[in-house]
Each structure stands twice: as C-alpha cells, then as structure tokens.
Structure 1
Amino acid sequence: MNARRTARAVALSTAAVTLMAACGGAAADTGDAPTTVEYWLWQDDATDSTWGDLAADFNASHDDVQVNITTIPLEQYQDRLLTAASSGTGACAARSKDWWLGQFAPQGMIADITEHVDAWDGKDDVIESLWDTGRLPGDDAVYMLPHQYVTLWLYYNKDRFAQAGVEPPTTQQEFLDAAAALTDPAAGQYGFDVRGGAGGQDQWLAWMFAGGADVVDADGEVALTSPEAVAANERYLSVVTELDAAPPGSITAAFAPVQTNFAAGTTAMMIHHPGSLNAMRETLGDALGVLPIPSVDGTEPATLTSMSGNVVLESCQDKDAAFEWISWLATEEPMRAISTSIQGQLPVLESVAGAEPFATDPDLQLAVEAARTAKSWPALPGVAQLAAKEFQTQVQLALQGDQTGEEMLTRLSQLLEQD
C-alpha cells in the first residue's frame, strides 16, 4: 500500500472512531485526541479521487484536526444541508454554492467567518473581487470562503462567422446584428440559443450584467427594473421576438440541446463557461473562438461568476478546527490539485491563476481576467425559487409574447424582494 493510501486508511479509521461524537459535526474534546471535522460536499464526477486524496493529505499533515468527508449527490445536497443546518446536526463544514447563502445566513444557520478570514495569512492571495461571492447583499461580513468558480463567456464558431462575413461582436448590438446575419432557417442555421429551460437563468444574467444591469444596488435593494436592466433584457428577448435568430425548441431548451446545437454548427454562438472548453475544442478544433460577453458599448466588461465555496455551520462545536480545514483547501498546493483535476474549475488564488495551465492557456486566462469585473447571483432567499422554476416560467412567457420584458422583470423582482 502506498503512502497516500496508508494515510487515507489511517484518516478513515480515525474518523470512524470519532465521527459525530457530538452533534454539530466536530468531535468533543477528549484530551489529546484530535478534533474531527465532519465535512459535506458534492462531486461533479463521482469517479474522481481528488477530494479523498486531499482529505488524506490534510489528515497526514495535521495532528490537532482530522477531517471526515461525506459525499452527497448534488440533486439531494441542498435539501439535506438545509435540514442539517436547521436542526444543528450533521456537517461542521460544508461545500456551498454562492446563492445558497440567502437561505442559510439570515437564519443564523452558517457562521460569520469574518474574524477567521481577517486573521488568515492566505487572505491576500484570493482574487479580490471574489470575496463578494461569500457576502450577503449590503453586508460586509464573510459567510463563505471562496474556492472554485466559473465565469461565463461567449463561444463562437469562426467558420460560420467567416462564411457570413461577420466580425466577432464586441457590443450587444453587434451581437444582435451577427445573430441575424448568421440565421438561415432554410439551411438549418441560427445565430444563438436563448436557453429558456433549466439553467437558463445563468446565461441570461451573464448577458444582463454585460449589458449594464444589476440584480441589486449598492445598498442591497433589488434593481432588476432599472432602465439599464429593462434595456438589456429587451435586447436578449429580441433574439426571438424580433430577429427569429434562435433554433426551434430554444425557448424551452436546457443546456444539453444548447451545447449540441453549437457543436453541430446549428447555432454560431453559445454562452457558457470553461466547463465546455475541452469538449468544444475536440469538436470544432481551430473553428472555436472565445470572447467576453459583449457589453453595451464594448467597454466596461462584466459577466456572471458562479462560486462553489466552503462554509462553517453555526452548530459546529469547534469553528476554529473547521476553518483550519477549509482554509487549508484554499492554499496553493491543494488549490492547484483540485483546479487541475476532473472536478476542477477556476482557482480563486492569484498564485495558482498566475501559473500553468491558467496563465499559459489564453482562453483560461480570459476566464480568470473576467473574474475581476464579474458579479454573482446575490444571496437572496428568492434566488433558489427563481433558479428552480420562476425564471423559466417568466422568460418563456416573455419570449412567446404573452407578457412584456418589463413585466417579466417586475415578477422576478417581486420574488427576490420577499423575505
């Protein structure tokens, strides 16, 4: 048995003895025995061993704190974490999406870790703009330590653009002009999928941010009906309502058909994140291009960033131990390991983002640079319902002409304004 597997076996043996010795996920103090932190997470690829390897490395190098990890399928994860957090049982630390904070932090279910962050010597290595993904709107307190994220960008088919004599867009009007020019229904070719089905809210919000809109203002008040938001939304809807530049089924499409259409050349543009990069490179080769999402006038770029970070539950008996684990994950070597694994997204650390492969791959560097001006879904309680159902309902009504774009934004705003 190699050293890493031996370490993991020791770690799991230790965890089996101490697991849940006290509620809240951290073992009670038993003299010289280490504190065990129960950590929950989901994995995008359940076959990958990186998280287990990281836990084994941590346990082998720490005498005072040990970690026991529990993997839960993503489709069950949020509900189980919410139940555990509200009842004070289960995890001590946990993986979390940024927009879940609105369900947890205002109810006192997760800990304010601001003091821990301020005392942490790794704080300055985190890309500065990403700290906001761990805060509530209008609040400076930190509730989540950033860890892995994506930024959304515009994929485009260089061959399709060349055939149509169209230049890559830098403004949203150029994008719309290109979408129209790239559409030929008789040939089965279209400009862009609006993705009105599951997950479409992220694509839409990336466009809205690039168009000068905000979900909330500086005081944390919902701002989705501002003139900038109304104008950006009208431009988005016009792909269907005015230009007929989206393929059949786009109004209700989730991600799979959107990616299939782009890979097949049915559409010439697609908004997504670097998670599609390798697959699209394999499919399109040199025809693949990547751009920032066009802004109103070609300046002041913005897009959506989506963060998966780590939180400490308020019920955790030893928050110092929990922070020791989650902050270790956010140090250079563990960060490099997870960011370059199958699970990997973009690293939140300047030191890792400035090294291979992120600094040497121009597309990945574009994604990292986008993080400096990117924004995230605000941590409001209504975001969960918006993402699960309401966005699909409202955008489909608007795309079908059954309500105006402003009515769509008003209804989404009313949901987000609920406590």
Structure 2
Amino acid sequence: MKARSKVAAVALSMAAVTALAACGGGDDAAEGPTTVEYWLWQDDATDTTWDDLAKDFNATHDDVQVNLTTIPLEQYQDRLLTAASSGTAACAARSKDWWLGQFAPQGILADLTDQVEAWDGKDDVIDSLWDTGRLPGSDAVYMLPHQYVTLWLYYNKDRFAEAGLEPPTTQQEFLDAAAALTDAAAGKYAFDVRGGAGGQDQWMAWMFAGGADVVDSAGDVVLDSPEAVAANERYLSVVTELDAAPPGSVTAAFAPVQTNFAAGTTAMMIHHPGSLNAMREALGDALGVVPIPVGDGAGPSTLTSMSGNVVLQSCKDKDAAFEWISWLATEEPMRTVSTSIQGQLPVLESVAASEPFSTDPDLQLAVEAARTAKSWPALPGVAQLAAKEFQTQVQIALQGQQSSEEMLAKLVTTLEQD
C-alpha cells in the first residue's frame, strides 16, 4: 500500500459521517438535485483522479450531484458495516468482491439486477466479470464491476536461460523448473510460497489454475475436491519436497517476496500487474510474464480480484446512486481511472481494446486472463480465512505437520461458517 495522508483522510471522513447522520444518506429536498454520498478508499490519497471525476459528473448532471468521502482502506470495511447498522451509511460505496458475503446477506446492499438489466452499458462489461458481483449460487447482482486485477507468473528470463529452461505452462513443468533453479549454497531459489499476510490470493491463483474451485454452481464449498487436494499438494511440495523456497518464505508477506524476485534471489513470483512497472525497472529485459501454470487436464484460470461499486439498501434514492456508479462504468470515466495511478484493469471491452491495454503485451495477457479467471466467492467465511486461517493452516502444512487434505478440510470449515 502506498503512503497516504491518513490524518487528512480520517478528518474528512469523520466530518462526512456527521453530515450523513443528519441527511440519512439521501436528500429529501423537494427542490434541486439529489445529492449522492459516496464512500471510497484510495491507495494514494494525494491523487486527484477521483475528485476530478466527481467534478466532471457534477458539471454534466443537473438532477444528481455526488459528494465523495475518502476513508483509509484499513478502516473502511469496519466503518461501512458500523455505519450501515446505525443508519448513517453512504448511498453508494466502493467494495471488494468478497465483502459481499458479509454485506448482502445482512440486507445492507441493494439488489441492482433490474437496474443493470435496464442499463445500456451492460454489454460492454467483460462478461465473466459479472460473477464478481454475485453471491454463490445466485444470479442477483449486488455490485457493479469497475476495476480489477488478474494474477500471473512473473519469471526471470536470465535465470531460466542459465538453466536451459523455458517458462512453465503446466504445474509439473513449474515444479521441475523449481528444482533446477534452486541452488541454496549460492543463495538462489525458485519461488516464494508466501505463507504470511496476503498469501491466500497467490495460493488461490495457483489452485484455480490447478483445476480447483472454491464453490460449485449451487454455491456449495468444494475446496476439498480431489482436484483441489492435488493442486495443493503440488504447491506445498515447493517447500516440503523440493526445498525450493528461500528462508523465511513460509511466513513471508508480500514485501520480501517482491524484494527476493527483484534481486534475482527467486526466479518466479505470482502477483498481478500492480508490480509490473517496479519489476520492469528492477529486471529490465530479463522480466517475463506468463499465465499461471495449469494442472493436468485443467483449462487456463487464475484469480481475479475486483473493486466495484454498491448501493446501500438504506439509500433513499437508489436510482440516483446507480446513475453515479453506472456513469463511472462508462468509457471515458473508465479510461481516466484505469490509466491513473489509482487504476487497475478496466472492466469494459471498449477500454480494454484501447491503449495501453491493447498495445502492451503484458497488459493484454492480464485482460485475456479475466475471461477464464475466478474470484474469491462472496462467503462470510472468506474474511476469517484471509485474516488468519489461511496463514495458520498453510504454515502448519508447509512445516510437514498436516497433509493437504487436512489443511483443506480446515479451510472448508472456515468457509462454511455463517
């Protein structure tokens, strides 16, 4: 996460909460435009992209005006839940895909299905990304997709050339390469397993590519399927059989993973395009990216992570709120935010077909991956898995103290909790 001005952001958000308590998240005035209160987080609170978008919207809309409140990400989810329970929530808000499992079943979010069906921009959204706004086993849309990432495999071309290897396309090729790329005496390793904070996303990208699913079409948790057990065994074997991860990898968060790859200590890293510019600067022409290697018989897949927009059930003018969030998902606003320092990948086919997404081969790869990618399902248990349980269980398994089956059984129990 980039540095931000937390004092300013908190002061702004506290002032907005006070105002919201008075207005109840909507504008009852009989005259004048409806004001939509909108909450968001920003990786860089000094960037003006979102403020500029709000000014553009307000200048071109007479019936609806938007007022932004920025809240630091580490406070955001709890603040939104608290405000919703007290009736002081915003009318519309930014949301991560897997938060829906906490918000929607509690009646916090409005069902947007009818508005989406009537929206003339819906066919421009990459079709597979609509699932990021749904609950498992349901067709109702609770979140309008906006910005996302897909995970891929970064690799060091020089390290691979020295070993006489091609980049892996299958998970067995990955493991064979990992063995050949590791020379502990020389301080050279293949891959960080990232058993610390945030490691569940890297692991889940591998699992999806290996043929695993978290839930089936009915919404039942199937993370302990034979395909999942096999994919997890392959992942664990990087440490338990090959000893191909550097010291500290079992408990590492992202910073040392990125540092090891940039320095050439590791030859491969799973992450998303957010690291692309930094890795290009560090490795230059030695940097390569390829899709996550697949399991035997599995089709291409990876993890996608979506930041979208929701309307709160307590909002007094849901049509006005949808007018704002659907405007954000039109071509010019989408291009503006996607090419800013706040931006990720655009959910619109029209923007994905324009520069730089259509001309940068690495970004093209990331966009193409979205068509077969899957997201963490919106289950309440995902929050507990991400916060603690994945780290606990993968570290035990990487230390050889439980099997792949035992690890996944415990994660399934976590995911099935209400």
Residue 26 (structure 2) aligns with: 26
TM-score, length-normalised on structure 2? 0.95
SS of the equivalent of 2:66 reads strand
Cα offset for 1:297?
Answer: 3.6
Aligned match of 1:251: 250
Q: 1-side partners of 2:21 and 2:281: how far apart? A: 49
Letter in 2 for 1:80: R
**Alpha-carbon contact 1:23-1:88 (below 8 Å) kept:** no
Residue 114 in 1 paired to residue 113 in 2?
yes
Give the secondary structure class of the aligned counterpart of 1:90: coil
Structure 2 residue aligned with 1:157: 156
Structure 1 contact 20–27 (Cα < 8 Å) conserved: no
Segments of structure 2 that go 5 or more residues without pairing to the other structure are 1-11
Check the 8 A contact 2:26/2:35 in 1, yes or no: yes
CA shift in 2, pair 1:170/1:275, >3 Å = same
Structure 1 Cα separation of the partners of residues 404 and 19 of structure 2:
52
SS of 1:398's equivalent?
helix
The answer to whether structure 1 residue 313 and structure 2 residue 321 are counterparts is no
What is the DSSP-based 3-state SS (H/G/I as helix, E as strand, rest coil) of the residue aligned with 1:70? strand
Backbone CA RMSD of aligned residues: 1.5
TM-score by length of 1: 0.95
Distance 2:194 2:298 in 1: 26
SS at the partner of 1:43?
coil
Change (3 A) 1:27 1:20: farther
2-side partners of 1:106 and 1:147: how far apart?
Answer: 22
Distance 2:279 2:24 in 1: 44
Distance 1:103 1:133 in 2: 14
SS in 2 for 1:148: strand
Partner Cα separation in structure 2 for residue 83 and residue 241 of structure 1: 43
Aligned-pair identity (%):
86
Q: What stretches of structure 1 of length at least 5 have no aligned partner?
A: 1-11
Partner of 1:3: none
Which secondary structure state, in structure 1, belongs to the residue aligned with residue 20 of structure 2? coil
2:179 partner SS: helix
Deviation at 1:368, TM superposition (A): 0.1
> Where does residue 73 of structure 1 map in the other structure?
72
Count of residue correspondences: 404
Cα distance per residue 1:4-32 (max 9 Å; x no partner):
xxxxxxxx9xx99x95385441111x233
Q: Name the counterpart of 1:35.
A: 34
User: How far apart, CA to CA, are the structure 1 residues paired with 2:48 and 2:297?
Assistant: 42
**Partner deviation per Cα, 1:126-168 (whole Å, 9 max, x = no partner):** 0000000000000000000000000000000000000011111
2:105 counterpart SS class: coil
1:234-292 deviation digits (Å, cap 9, x = unpaired): 00000000000000000000000000000000000000000000000011000000000
Is the 2:209–2:298 contact (alpha carbons within 8 Å) kept by the matching residues of 1?
no
Distance in 1, Cα, partners of 2:241 & 2:249: 15
Report if aligned partners of 1:209, 1:304 keep a CA contact under 8 Å in 2: yes
More divergent stretch after superposition (289-298 vs 401-410)? 289-298
Query: Does the 8 A contact of 1:129 with 1:371 survive in 2?
Result: yes
How far has the Cα of 1:300 moved from its partner? 1.4
Corresponding position of 1:354: 353
Aligned to 1:294: 293
Opposite residue 25 of structure 2, the aligned amino acid is: G
